[in-house]
Structure 1
Amino acid sequence: MLAMQQNEVLEQAEEFLFDWVRPRAQEMDVSLEALKEGLSELANRGLLGLRADPEFGGRGFPDAAFRRFQETIARCSGALAFVQTQHQSAVSFLNRSANDALKRRFLPKWCSGERMSGIAFSQLRKAGAPVLSAKRVEGGWVLDGKMPWVTGYGIFQDCVVAAYTKDQRTWFGVVQLADSDSLVFSPVMRLASMEVGQTVSAEVRECFVSEEDVLYLKEGNWIHNNDMLNIALQSPFALGCAAAGIDVMRGVYEKKRIEAITRAADVLEEEL
C-alpha cells in the first residue's frame, strides 16, 4: 500500500514539475521571490520531506523513487533542484539520527515547510587543521572556525552543520541560520550560476550547541567515504539536465520542422 501511495505521489509531483515549475525555470534562476514561491509550492504538495519517515510527516521514498524525483526536478529547474536538494539532504541526515526528540522537534516542520534547513559540510574536505571544530563542554558543544559554503541564507531557518572533534570524529548538529554574535555571515557570494541560491560563508565564534541538538558522531573519515558514494548519487542531476537539453531540441523542432533536429534528439534520448 505504501509503495502504491509513493508512486502516486511521484506521478503527481512530476506532473506539477512539468506543468508549473518548468515554465517558470528562467524566472527562478534570477528571482529569489520566484524561487521561494517554488519551494512553497513543493511544501504545499508534501514534497519537502521525501526521505523522512511518514510518522514525521515525510514520504519515506526509497532510493529509486527519490532519484527519479531528483532527475525530473533537475530537468525542470536547475535553481530549484539545487536549493531543495540542500533541504532534502538535511531531512535525510536527521531522519537517520537516533535522537528521537530532535527528530520530533524538527522533522515535522521541515517536511511541511514551516521551517527549512540547509547543510554545511564542505569544511570537512580541507586537509590540515580543522576548518570548523567542535569541543565538548558542559551541556553540549562549542563550535569554532568557519563554514566556507552555506547555501540558502535568507531561505532556510536551520542548518545541519558538521565539524571535527578533538579525537578526529565528525560531529553533526542543528544550528539556526541567522546572524548572531557567534555566527557572522558574509554577503551573498557572486557565483557563475545559481547565485539566487543565496550561498554565503560564516565565521563561527564560540557557538554553543546543546546536546539536545546533536544528530550523531561519526568516524573522522566519514566525508571521504561519503564522497565516493555521492559520485554515483549525483547522476540524476546530470541525467535531468541532459533530458532538459533534449526537450529544448524538440521545442526547436516544433518551430522549424527540420528533420535533422528530431533525429538527433531521438538518438540522444536513446543514449540517455
Structure 2
Amino acid sequence: MRSDEGNPGAWQLVGGLDEFLRRAGDFLLSQPVLHTVALRVTDELRKRGPYVYGPREPVFGVLERAGAVTAAFFRTPPHRLQLTPLTGAEAEALADFLAALDEPLPGVSGVHDTAAAFAGAWQRRTGVTTTPYSRQRLYRLGTLTPPEPAPPGRARVAVAADREQVACWYGEFSEEVGAPPAPDGGLGWADDRIAFGGITLWEGPDGPASMAAATPVLAGTVRLADVYTPARLRGRGYAGAVTAAVSRAASAAGAAEVLLFTDLANPTSNALYQRLGYRPVRDFTVYRFEAPATGLTATATP
C-alpha cells in the first residue's frame, strides 16, 4: 500500500494518444514490466492508428498528484477498461469519475487487487454484475533452462511460405482460449508478425510442429504470446523447445526482460514456463460487467 492511500488525487481525461504519452509516458516507462499492456497497446495505436482495436477513438486518463502522473487508465472501445495498479482509494475515486461520465463499461482488467477493487466500486455505483472472467499470471524470464533432451527438429523463424499454417494455428489457438475469431482467418495477424520475424516455429521430423510469437523489443522488453502446438502433437516437448528458442532469441535481440502471460486455469503451461526459468511477477484478473435489468447498460465482452 502506498503512503498516500488516503489522498487519491484527481483523475483527468486526456485528449488523445500524443497527449497521453506526453503526460504519462515517463510513468509507464518507470516500470515497463508491470506496465507492459499499456506500453504495447499505445505503441500499436501510435504505429497503426486509433482504430486498430475498434471503431471508436480510444479513451485515456491519468491520475496526477503534485504535478506528477501516478496512475493511468485507457480503453479501446468496445474493449474493457485497462488500469495500472491503484490503491483502494484511487479505484473508488476512478469509479466516481467514470460513473459521472455515464459511459457503460464492458469490464476491467488489471493487477488482481486493483481489478477487484474497481469492480466492487463500479458495482456499488452502477448496479452492474461483476464477474471474474479470467485470471492470468505475468512471468519474467530468469535463467533460461532449455528442455533436455530437446525433441527432434530445430527452431526456425517463420517466413511468407508459412503464412497459411501460422494463420490456421492462430485461429485454433484463439478458439481454445475463447478469444473472438480474426475476421480474415488470422492472415493479417500472420502477415504482421512474419514481416518482423515475430513467429518462431519448431520444425519437427514431419514439418512444423509448434509455434511461438514474440513482440519486437519495446522499452527493453519482449513479450511472448500465442504458444501453440496442435493437439495431435502435444506431449512431445515441442512447446517447451520452441518457447526456449524464442526466449533465447529475444535476449539476443537486446531485451533486458522477456515476459509472458499465462492463464492460471492451465496448470500445464504454468508448470512448463517455470521449468524453463520463468518467474512470477504479478497476477492479473479480468472482470466482465453485465447490466442490470434497468438503468446503466453494459455489454459483456470477453
Fold shared, TM-score > 0.5 on shorter chain: no
Structure with the larger strand share: 2
Structure with the larger helix share: 1
Q: TM-score range by the shorter chain?
A: under 0.3
Q: What TM-score, normalized by structure 2, do the two folds share?
A: 0.26
